[in-house]
Amino acid sequence: MSKHDVVVVGGGISGLTFAFEAARAGRSVLVLERAGGPGGCISTRRTGCGYWFEVGAHTCYNSYVGFTGLIDACGLRDDVTQRAKTHLRFLDGDRLVPGSNLGVMLRLFGWFEAAVSLPRMIGAKKDGKTVEEFYSSIVGKRNYATVLGPMLSAVPSQSADAFPAGMLFKMRDTRRKDYPRSFTLRGGLQTVTDALARQPGVEVASGRTAVRLAANGAGWVVVTDDGERHEAGVVAVATPPSAAAAFLGGAAPDLAAQISRVKDTVVETLAFAVRASKVNLPVSMFLVPRKDVFHSAVTRDSVPDPDWRSFAFHFKPGLEPEHRVARVTRLLGLQRTDLEDLVEKRTILPSPGRGHEVIVGEIDRLSAGNRLCVLGNWFAGLSIEDCVERSRKEWARVATAG
């Protein structure tokens, strides 16, 4: 049996932020991560020639004050690099729709419907509305279904129709003016999670799945799939909702019941590098299909390279691997042998719906007063910064409790 001050279940940015804050406060921390290494939704593929590309999260802004604070604390400020201007482009089958960004969206809109609907934007409020309800009332139902809806679904790599309208895009009041407005790091975003995992006082155990939680006096015992028991005064759970509910069911059934109300979904990502000379597609960032078997494709064109390009296609679940490869090669005009450093990643993402804020309120109420924390990208929002803010808030809560 191991003994630590804190055990964190899940080694993504949420769990690692919590671990970092606890270790910085002088606590000993064990992070249990079921995958082969830390990172979670932040996943950077590094090739043998030094090229890298993102398989998961890829965008950061200087309004991410908590995340930039982690970068500073890890001594990575000199690794920050500005992202080049890129473009959002639409796909209609295998055809790239001419134009990019807001201009192409406006050309694709039906303007009679838009003219009738757009005045409703004045004074429109998101409270209590889903993404589909709010935005279709502004641009019209057809414009939403054929243009805006697919673009909004490209952001979380799943249908965003039922999401609470306020979760997708958030205005943040503070910006770090010493950081580029949009940035990444030399070596990719996983540079940050790797650095957090190496912090003094943080021990990461990869390939270890936490299967059960039990009360142990004033603290807890976490049991892993190999039968090991890990004692801690504080436990933080930073996993997708379904996994968190299953893990907490025995020790905190009321909390688990609330968490289980948050649905999740699977995204199958196919990512690869390709010689730049083999791709005719113009520079982009998002490729948004109006209707297809994938939600979006993200390129690394925001960090230009003279020899290489890369793509991460985020597919809807249920497609066989060979069919995903076939869709990608047909679209880009490539052969299977052109796809280098091919990686496939299965990610479970939250799918919050109407009334999500009530569920979060109940989770917080049930967590209050005890030393059990629930973290993740499914509370106030889905961005990296939302994860960091939640973890810092929860550490402050339990640290204050003693």
Q: Which residue ranges in the chain fall short of pLDDT 50?
A: none
Query: Which of 29, 56, 21, 130 minimizes the C-alpha distance to 384?
Result: 56
Distance of CA 43 to the CA centre of its chain: 10
CA distance 371 to 399: 9
Distance of CA 227 to the CA centre of its chain: 31
pLDDT at 402: 61
- C-alpha dihedral sign at 389, 216, 33, 365: negative
Helices (H), 110-240: 111-117, 131-139, 141-143, 149-154, 190-197
Helix (H, G, I), strand (E, B) or coil at 286: strand
Helices (H), 79-237: 101-108, 111-117, 131-139, 141-143, 149-154, 190-197
Q: What is the pLDDT of residues 337-395, one digit of tens each?
A: 999 999 999 999 999 999 999 999 999 999 998 999 999 999 988 899 999 999 999 99
**In this structure, which topology does domain 2-42+61-82+183-262+353-401 adopt according to CATH?**
FAD/NAD(P)-binding domain (3.50.50)
Neighbours of 40 (CB within 10 A): 26
CA distance 396 to 378: 19
H or E stretch at 398:
helix 384-401
pLDDT at 114: 81
CA distance 241 to 256: 9
pLDDT at 53: 97
Find out whether 259 and 238 touch, Cβ atoms under 8 Å: no
Q: Which amino acid is at 204?
A: V
Give me the residue spans of the domains in the chain.
2-42+61-82+183-262+353-401
Neighbours of 283 (CB within 10 A): 15
